[in-house]
Structure 1
Amino acid sequence: MELSEALRSRRSVHEYTDESLDEETIHDIFADATFAPSSFNLQPWEFLVLTDDEDRERLRGVANDQEHVTDAPAGVVVLGNKDPSAHADRVFQDWLDKDYIPNEDVKEALIETAEGMAEMDEEDRRVWTTRSTALVAMSVMLAAWDRGVATCPMGGFDAEGVLSEFDVPDQYEPVMLLTMGYPVEESDDLQNERKLRRETDEVLHFGSFDGIEDPIGAPADD
């Protein structure tokens, strides 16, 4: 489908059919999604895809017991590596090989920059990886919907619980959870009128930021 159609028709879906997602489809979704941009092209993302019933029950246990975690045929933990230098050697060698940078000295300087970023405090590294990993998460949702596969992003989960339950090293930040599967076409998620979207003129600012107005008229700092 056209990008504009995908953006406007995508919904967060909670009701899924019993049809399973085959590994090839899942692989193709992520193959497209990983063309998302990232800081210095360092691609800090990793994805834990859970299709076994038992694994999705475990995920539900650290996701506020949300039913659609187990109703969907697949659950995805979107992880961000908090070490900016993790893939720096490969990334910047590729830049050198493809003449994006002129010489080895520049490559080594870029690696040193990434290593310096890896020395940032915990909160700054969390913000760094979340910015890039959120981009790829949106790309996953659009790549899935392009194939008729619905998703629902979830921010309500126990991050430490996710790491512990699935033995994920603590250098990773659980940025988002996604449910994924073929939607029930008659579900309210797809059939109900589209939820409110703020008008473009309300959110778009040219040249200067001219303040925030609540759409129902309340002062912004209430």
Structure 2
Amino acid sequence: MQVMEFDEVIETRRSVHQYTDEDIDDDTLEAIFEQVRYSPSSFNLQPWEFLVVRDEDNLARLQEAANGQETVGESGATVVVLGNKDPAAHADRIFGDWLDKGYIPNEEVRDNLIGVAENMAEMPEDERRVWTTRSTALAAMSLMHAAWDNGVASCPMEGFDADALVDAFDIDDGYEPVMLVTLGYATEDADDLENGRKVRRSVDEIVHHETFEPETVDAAAADD
């Protein structure tokens, strides 16, 4: 399969809701996640885990937890993107690697960094949820780009019952369900691809230089 140029991946990716019945094979999934694992994260602590659901019965259970959204049940696979709420879970391995590769000068610095992660692990749960969501969301975006680079369409979803999902799939309490990402091969007439790119705000609208000046709304336009 021909690999896209990076700008093509960025500019042509869509959130697709209509998939064919074609299965996503193991090799394709492996190729996708091989790219995902290079995502950046806070301190390189890589808090993400991914539950890939392809079995028809399991997709039905996941669809129920996702407020009945048909896209889940009709996908080739739906990925439950999970964030580990323990910042110290992989700290020994990560910072040991930093020392081995010369990113840090000595064991004292390594131990101090491990201590930082352990202190972070003592933060209140709501703060740890925010921490893991920030890094894990980066990996979720990598997942969607990697999928499209491998010819697989996707759609991120935040409409789900987290408690029901955790119960249905016996997910450990130490993990935060961050989002669902459906995967599949888009149908030829998928609305998301056929109807053209949805509006995107311009660079001038979204970028502020040096100071933040909120966009002002024209009074006459506001009355329309």
Question: What interval of TM-score do these two structures reach, taking the shorter chain for normalisation?
Answer: over 0.9
Matched, 1:13 2:13: no
Relative distance call for 1:160 and 1:104 in structure 2 (3 A) is: same
SS class of match (1:49): strand
* Residue aligning to 1:199: 202
Distance in 1 separating the partners of 2:75 and 2:137: 21
Distance in 1 separating the partners of 2:30 and 2:177: 20
SS class of match (2:17): coil
Distance in 2 separating the partners of 1:21 and 1:214: 46
Matched, 1:62 2:65: yes
Deviation at 1:185, TM superposition (A): 2.1
Distance in 2 separating the partners of 1:25 and 1:6: 17
Could you list the per-position Cα deviations for residues 29-79 of structure 1 after superposition, in whole angstroms to 9, with x for gaps in the alignment?
011011010000000000000010000001001001000101111010000
User: So what's the TM-score if we normalise by structure 1?
Assistant: 0.96
Amino acid at match of 2:204: D
* Residue aligning to 2:84: 81
Amino acid at match of 1:194: R
User: So what's the TM-score if we normalise by structure 2?
Assistant: 0.95
Matched, 1:169 2:143: no
2:44 to 29, 41, 55: 41
Deviation at 1:213, TM superposition (A): 3.7
* Residue aligning to 1:99: 102
Distance in 2 separating the partners of 1:125 and 1:40: 14
2:157 to 149, 154, 166: 154
Kindly report the root-mean-square deviation, in angstroms, between the aligned alpha carbons of the 2 structures. 1.4
Matched, 1:27 2:64: no
Q: How many residues align?
A: 219
Q: Percent identity?
A: 58
SS class of match (1:152): strand
Matched, 1:128 2:131: yes
Could you list the per-position Cα deviations for residues 150-188 of structure 1 after superposition, in whole angstroms to 9, with x for gaps in the alignment?
000001001111111100011100001011011112211
Amino acid at match of 1:163: V
| Worse-superposed segment, 205-214 or 116-125 | 205-214
